[in-house]
Amino acid sequence: MCGIVGYKGRSIAAPILLKGLKNLEYRGYDSAGIATLENGINVVKTKGRINNLSPLTKSLCGNCGIGHTRWATHGAATETNAHPHLSPSGKFAIVHNGIIENFDSLKHELAQKGYVFRSETDSEVIAVLMDDLFDGNELKTFSAVLNKLQGSYAIAMLTYDGKIYAAKKDSPLVIGLSRSETYVSSDLTAFSDKTDKFVIMEDEIAEISDTVSFFSDGKKIQPQIFEWKCKVDACDKSVYPHYMLKEIFEQPDALADTLNHSIKDRCEFLNQINNIHLIGCGSAYHAALTGKYVIESLTGTRVNADIASEFRYRNPIIRQSDLLIAISQSGETADTIGAVNMAKDKCKTACIVNVRKSTLARTARPFYTYAGPEIAVATTKGYTTQLINLYVIAYNMLGKPTGFLRSLEAIPQSVAQTLKLSNVLKYIGELIASKRNVFFIGRGADYAAAKESALKLKEISYIHADCYPAGELKHGTISLIEKGSVVIAIATDKELLNKTSGSILEVKARGAFTIGISSYELDCCDITIKLPAADFYSPLLATVACQLISYYAALHRGCDIDKPRNLAKSVTVE
């Protein structure tokens, strides 16, 4: 969740660290801090956003430092709990992403030795352990501290003599390399304007001084360096007021790019498959649910869709002839990675992922999306490019029929046509912005689209939005419907149109205001948003329409659209 940065070079570190943190702010924004070295380690930190931190760093002039933007797990979002954490001696400062599961016992053990803890965090024990175990050899001590930790971590540590040490376990961390400067970051985008050469950390320790060395089991190793370039304009808002709006309107190009690459993939992982398990968290789970409906109905193959955090702990029935496909935009979702690790010795594993060299892409056979960097916390193009790869999987399973390919190739243009409805979608968004509750209903793949649409609305507008299968309304949910309730019905499946219309009439009879989203006429609704005529992918178009409705509802309510409260982009802890 949290974002980590580090820098050692010839320039003043603070501005570089601040810019890196701004690029990682989507990972957490409860508090932020920086530590640099000049006449000892100097730490500045604050509650709230990185903009609050910036004025505090003007006096920092060292050329070596670390920084952190926090998503709170242990302890409230306060200045005291903000990172970096300084060791009692002042010799070491650490930043940490992850959860130290045995911190309570470690803290108790250290407190008995007389150490006093300033914060409520699990992370501070790392800094205190460094003091407790330090024998003059930093590398040896750092390794000994890591051996005491249980749980997940990505750690960067600044030392009193101007070194940075970095290590990770089950949380992402990369080292960026250039001729005279070295960078540490939670992901590639933080310093993509500074270098295109990176080391993806595994289980080794990085020691950064005037040179960079990597160690595994105490022995120096030679890591693999890979190149990654980011488009210059990929991480800025361009002419748009928010990243989310920019990313919504980038979807036609992102879908076309993903299709052009994916259609060339031989998809050999689909050979001799009896059952498919699709797993994901949040929006990725909704993509899995859509994939279940589409792949099952078109190919006749049994498909299960599961929430990754449930799948990994419920002892699922997995056979050797099964295929597990994990879906994650970042490729760093902890529960999804855990589920893949649980299943990889039992069946084939593949993944739909946007970030190259991510943990998931290195763990399972990657089937990449080409959405480009997605900065807004609420996913848009990341989600729809996952859907198009699921459609391509169905295409391959069917033997690549020409008619199906034509439908796939029509998707980017159909999305572009849907985006032209922005004025009416803005009107709908502003219409529902004052509501406390909004209900979404749908059947089949439309139900999956409705679930994603409800999530998008609640994520960024804080309107309580819930979704139900249309046929389930009579089994309890309809008791919530009263005069003035807003019900948004997604109805793009012609075979189920009459059934969904019946559900709409049931809520109208109880005073609901109904909004229909369909490629067909829905005379039973108070307002109908008419989507472009489409094939099996109509639910994708409905989702795009609801992205804009959610955006404009949140805008009308004055919400922080790109950084909604309590959320983070990449969920790297359980």
Which of 299, 225, 262, 298 is closest to 535 using CA atoms?
A: 298
Q: Which two tokens stand for residue 517?
A: 């989203």
Residues with Cβ within 8 Å of residue 251, at least 6 apart in sequence: 380, 381, 384, 412, 415, 419, 544
In angstroms, rounded to a whole number, what is the distance separating the alpha carbons of residues 166 and 95? 10
Q: Which two tokens stand for residue 509?
A: 């009879």
In angstroms, rounded to a whole number, what is the distance separating the alpha carbons of residues 488 and 451? 11
Can you list the positions of beta strands (E) in 217-322?
A: 219-221, 226-227, 275-280, 302-307
Q: Coil, helix or strand for 364?
A: coil
Q: Which two tokens stand for residue 184?
A: 């540490």
In angstroms, rounded to a whole number, what is the distance separating the alpha carbons of residues 495 and 333? 36
Other C-beta atoms within 10 Å of 269: how many? Answer: 19
Active-site residue, 2 included: yes
Catalytic residue, from 2, 64, 267, 525: name it.
Answer: 2
Which of 122, 107, 111 is closest to 153 using CA atoms?
A: 122
Can you list the positions of beta strands (E) in 309-458?
A: 323-328, 348-353, 365-368, 437-442
For residue 36, the one-letter residue type is T
Let me know the angle formed at the C-alpha of 484 by 481 and 485, rounded to the nearest 5 degrees. 40
Which of 534, 380, 378, 374 is closest to 446 using CA atoms?
A: 534
Q: Give the H/E segment covering residue 176.
A: strand 174-177
In angstroms, rounded to a whole number, what is the distance separating the alpha carbons of residues 367 and 328? 11
Q: Buried (b) or exposed (e) across 205-221, using 16+ Cβ within 10 A?
A: bbbbeeebebbeeeeee
Q: Is the dihedral of CA 339, 342, 345, 347 positive or negative?
A: negative
Active-site residue, 569 included: yes
In angstroms, rounded to a whole number, what is the distance separating the alpha carbons of residues 282 and 290? 13
Q: Please identify which residue in the block is written with the tokens 């922005």.
A: 422
Other C-beta atoms within 10 Å of 440: how many? Answer: 27
- The full DSSP string for 290-317 is HHHHHHHHHH--EEEEEEHHHHTTS---
Other C-beta atoms within 10 Å of 500: how many? Answer: 26
Tell me the C-alpha to C-alpha distance, in Å, between residue 405 and each of 55, 220, 260, 371.
54, 51, 11, 20
In angstroms, rounded to a whole number, what is the distance separating the alpha carbons of residues 333 and 572? 5
Q: Which two tokens stand for residue 559?
A: 């919400």
Catalytic residue, from 19, 45, 168, 569: name it.
Answer: 569
Tell me the C-alpha to C-alpha distance, in Å, between residue 445 and each of 11, 218, 496, 498.
54, 53, 11, 16
Q: Give the H/E segment covering residue 157.
A: strand 151-159
- For the chain, the farthest-separated pair of C-alpha atoms sits apart, in whole angstroms, at 78
Residues labelled catalytic: 2, 569
